[in-house]
Amino acid sequence: MICENVIYTQKKLAQRYGISIAALQRWYPFAGIIKPKKRGGYFDGSTVEIADIFYVAVKIRRLTFKEYLQQVIPAGGLDCYLQKVNNMTLYDFLTKHISDEEQANEIVQVVIKRIECHEAYKSASTTVTSIA
């Protein structure tokens, strides 16, 4: 499985989430997104990952911006928050506890694949370390 690292302009990132640029800009302080310094600059892969998680929290888990800032961030992220509050991982939430329509969402699919990629990397890393 290949994990992609794509960069986006502000306009393309807003389109990715189906929101306006102004709405995306309102996400910045809550999600911890740093706008590129250069006009017309690009968001790197790590910023897109942050935005994807924020999207899942707000659109799929239906948290408010304030709840995200006051509860999810201090908990250590959405995965830790879900484990603490709902006794499930983010992966379990996205694969077992949301509707089929929500599971088919492009952003949800990307987050699921990213988690699977991360787990595959951790597993391979652990195997190599234990052999050495």
Cβ count within 10 A of residue 29: 10
At residue 3, the pLDDT reads 53
HEC states along 27-66?
HHHHHCCCCCCCCCCCECHHHHHHHHHHHHHHHHCCCCHH
The pTM of the full predicted model, rounded to 2 decimals, is 0.85
Q: What average pLDDT does the segment 99-116 reach?
A: 96
**Model confidence over 7-39: pLDDT tens digits?**
899 999 999 999 999 999 999 999 999 888 877
- Joined together, the tokens standing for residue 21 give 């640029």
